[in-house]
Amino acid sequence: MIAVIRRYFSMLAGDPLADRSVPPTGFTANLTVFTSGAMAFLAVFALALGLAAGQLADRWASELARTSTLRISAPADQLDAQVAAAVNLLETTPGVASARALDMAEQQALLEPWFGPDLPIDTLPIPRLIEVVEEGAGYDATGLRARLQAEVPGAILDDHTRWREPLVAAADRLRLLSILSIALIATATAAMITLAANAALAANAQVIKVMRLVGARDIYIAGAFVRRFTIRAFGGSAIGALAGTLAVLLLPSSDVAGGFLTGLSFSGASWFAPASIPLLAAVVAFLATRSAALRTLRALS
Amino acid sequence: MIELDRVAYSYGGAELFSNVSLTLAPGSFQFLTGPSGAGKTTLLKLCYGELVATAGHVRLFGKNVRELQRDDIALSRRNIGVVHQDCQFLDHLSVAENVALPLTVAGRADEASEYLEDLLSWVGLRNQAGQRPPELSGGERQRAALARAVIISPDVIIADEPTGNIDWEMSQRLLKLLVELNRMGKTILLATHDLNLIRQASKMQVQARVLRLMNQRLHVAGVDL
């Protein structure tokens, strides 16, 4: 197995004289570098989207899963009593870490984005909200609803399930979309490099003929092309990935703009993730050129 | 070493030659002559595995060419030095790099430094080592091709009209180099339409056999052609 892998990648072992045997062709060189660079640039954004979507899905899944909201609608004279009863009930419920009624200022802040800062909240029949934080395996939602119905008739428990599931599903789809985008980018890169390699092989038919006449094996001839295209793809994609990372760095942050899309960015160690793109491009170029070269050499025999 | 057994070759249905048998014994010197279009170059290509016979068998060092993989043929060619009429150089490489190419592709490039200088001196191209092939004259190109053919010390040297584009003086010089190689024990097969060259070889005391490819058959001829 190791021998097979070693043989497969033996083409990458450098032989400057072999590489010199194949004349550099400007058109294919430029095409490979440009394609790899452009694709790497796009791949950085797909990667950023994937990582951001993944983080968002995880955050939504964990944060929304650990909290619930109890909404209490009752006549004004009963409201405080029902809130107190609900808090008492929640504090004695297994799986509930804490239960806290939001004060009017907090409720005003929640409504402010929709109704503005001048909403006379104390004069409106607005339900009171209780924030419930879970612990351990969480509470038994069915049992809690039954107890609430009996003891606090105006209470409605929202465990966020109906909000969380579509949000997490959307974030997961975004993550899948980014993986698909990276796969498409890799495929397009492979296709372009295959075309460039085929053009280079066709342009060097005479070189191939001469090298065969002096005893060169196919793997040796292919190696000269494979190394060249792998290095070009790596170089081009390194430039593209660097440019893409800088562009992501210059995007407005989510803290400033407050939206998800403008917050497309890396965080922490994920800033090193774009470094994997040139490696991926080099592997794609290696496989594409190797396949194209050996196929063409077979056809030329 | 190289054996053709009742070989035939056809181009697009038209038979170029048939029932051709030829053995290149170790240390032999053979001229292959015949009119233009008789198939001399094709016969040579069969001898170094560039073409496959349409009938009969070609054996390179005991192995049937039909049963060899491409890489096996490439390895066999490391034991056959070929001088082409049109030299077949890589024009972007220097003369020295072209001459060293058989060693380079065999993964023995480090050996080139041992032989290269002496070899280029032997063929009189020491001062042209850094030049590109297009900068050489016809005779220089043929001598560089001969140097490339022998650098890996093959047992067999096949030359296809090596004197076709050079003057008589240079032809004699090239012939002399081939005769020297034969005296070192190399097997030589030289295709030429130049009968004076064959006569000149007989004057050099070389035991050469002359083969004539004509009318689709290979005949053994005398040196007094």
Kindly report, residue by residue over A140-175, the tens digit of the pLDDT: 888 888 888 888 888 888 877 777 778 778 888 888
Interface test with B, best of A15, A214, A218, A297 (most B CBs within 10 A): A214
Residues 6+ apart with CB under 8 A from B221: B33, B210, B211, B212
The confidence band for A25, taking pLDDT boundaries of 50, 70 and 90, is low
**Average pLDDT of the residues in B141-165:** 87
Whether residue B160 lies within 8 A of chain A, CB to CB, comes out as: no
B77 to chain A, minimum CA–CA distance in Å? 5
* A300 pLDDT above the threshold of 80: no
Look at residue B224 in the predicted model and tell me its pLDDT.
45
* Cβ within 8 Å, pair B101-A218: no
What's chain A's average pLDDT?
83
Q: Which has the closest alpha carbon to A281: A32, A19, A9?
A: A32
- Highest-scoring range by mean pLDDT, A3-17, A60-74, B67-81: B67-81
CA–CA distance, B201 with B178 (Å, rounded to integer) = 10
Residue scoring higher pLDDT (B187 or A9) = B187
The confidence band for A14, taking pLDDT boundaries of 50, 70 and 90, is low
Look at residue B178 in the predicted model and tell me its pLDDT.
85
Q: Which has the closest alpha carbon to A281: A51, A48, A43?
A: A43
> Which one of B50, B77, B93 has the shortest CB-CB distance to A215?
B77
Look at residue A203 in the predicted model and tell me its pLDDT.
85
The share of chain A scoring above pLDDT 90, in percent, equals 15
* A4 pLDDT above the threshold of 70: no
Q: Which has the closest alpha carbon to B114: B146, B153, B78?
A: B153
* B132 pLDDT above the threshold of 70: yes
Whether residue A218 lies within 8 A of chain B, CB to CB, comes out as: yes
Residues 6+ apart with CB under 8 A from A102: A110, A128, A129, A130, A131
CA–CA distance, B102 with A166 (Å, rounded to integer) = 67
B130 to chain A, minimum CA–CA distance in Å? 15
> Which one of B70, B71, B90 has the shortest CB-CB distance to A207?
B90
Residues 6+ apart with CB under 8 A from A7: none
What's chain B's average pLDDT?
87
